[in-house]
Structure 1
Amino acid sequence: MPESNEQQQNDPEAKFTQADIDRIVTERLSRQQKQFADYDELKDKASKYDSMASELAELKASNQLADWKSQVSKELGVPIDLLRGATLEEIQAHGESLKPFVTGTPVAPVVPKAGDQPESNDKESPEIELLRDIGLSE
């Protein structure tokens, strides 16, 4: 009759049969498999976590962008829908470039009294009198 497993491990001269080795290996593999039994479940959870973390980062970025557009819109009076850019500085620069077109501010400078006619005086200038004297003007 084969000796018990304990006696075989204590005796350095102990000899094992193939059935003993198969049983020992099977027991060891079983313990190892139990140790990693939830590996697939943990792998799925880690994948879901990575996906949700990525989605959260996208939402935070989107909210930050919306906050910046709202801020620039209030500061410059430009509608949010018209603002473009990925950073606050880009959105502000774009808003500044749109501001003249949206707020009705003229793009070109206004020259005061540009369409007014000069005051007429009844007296003719000396140049016109000279031209009449030499016959070049009527």
Structure 2
Amino acid sequence: MSETTAQAGTTPAGKGANENPAMEGSQPMRTFTQEEVNALVGSARMKERQKFADYDDLKDAAGKAAEFQQQADEAAAQLDEATARIAEFEQKAQIAEWAEQAARETGVPASVLKGSTLEELQAHAEQIRAAMPAYPTLPADSGEAKVPAVTKEEIYQIKNREERVMAMGQHPELFD
């Protein structure tokens, strides 16, 4: 029973240690010439080289892909920057529009208003309007000739030279 339970690669009892049990019942081992060995090794090398024949192409493609990815990242960063600038300009335009609206409503110049929302601009305009003294407004010009409060003769009768020159400057229409 020991002969039947022997494992592969071990020598069964009663057999020579120099014999290979795998060789039992098979053809004798073939020997190869140097040319045949070279041909087999060359064939194996050729197959391995064919596996990696496109390695340089793949390496170039990977380099180009990395370059394209870098360009895409740069383009995305430029797009983000441009988008931010556009948003900033749109916000400034909106604030300017709101300032003009508050200026029309209150009569305060838009250039002096501060704020970033319509409500802030309106509140600031109201504060400025409340702080400004009320100046009388002149009536619209009807096109009629206005009678000056003083006459040319009255100005000539002013004794103080400086006052007379000042009165002439205030009423140039009398001296045309």
TM-score using structure 2 length? 0.45
Which gives a bigger RCO, structure 1 or 2 (Cα 8 Å, sep 6+)? 1
Structure 1 unaligned segments of length 5 or more: list them: 9-15, 106-138
**Does residue 2 in structure 1 map to residue 2 in structure 2?**
no
Deviation at 1:54, TM superposition (A): 0.8
TM-score scaled by structure 1?
A: 0.55
**How many residue pairs were aligned?**
94
After superposition, where does 1:45-84 map in structure 2 within 5 Å?
Answer: 45-84=75-114
SS of structure 1 residue aligned to 2:132: helix
Deviations 1:6-64 (A, max 9, x none): xx5xxxxxxx3xx5666554443333333343222222211211111111011001000
Question: Deviations for 1:85-117, whole angstroms, at most 9, x for unmatched residues?
Answer: 111111111111111233618xxxxxxxxxxxx
2:59 is aligned to 29
Q: 1:68-98: per-residue Cα shift (whole Å, max 9, x none)? A: 0000001100111221111111111111111
SS in 2 for 1:104: coil
Deviating beyond 2 angstroms after TM superposition, the runs of 4 or more aligned structure 1 residues are 1-5, 19-37, 100-103
Q: Give the Cα separation in 1 of the matches to 2:132 and 2:74.
A: 51
CA distance in structure 2 between the aligned counterparts of 1:81 and 1:28, rounded to whole angstroms: 63
Q: Aligned partners of 1:56 and 1:80: how far apart in 2?
A: 23
Of 110, 123, 127, 1:97 maps to: 127
Opposite residue 40 of structure 1, the aligned amino acid is Q
The answer to whether the Cα contact below 8 Å between 1:78 and 1:103 also exists between their aligned partners in 2 is no
Which amino acid is 2:125 matched to? G
Q: Which amino acid aligns with 2:43?
A: P
**Aligned Cα root-mean-square deviation (Å):** 2.8
Higher-Rg structure is 2
Task: Provide the identity percentage.
Answer: 24
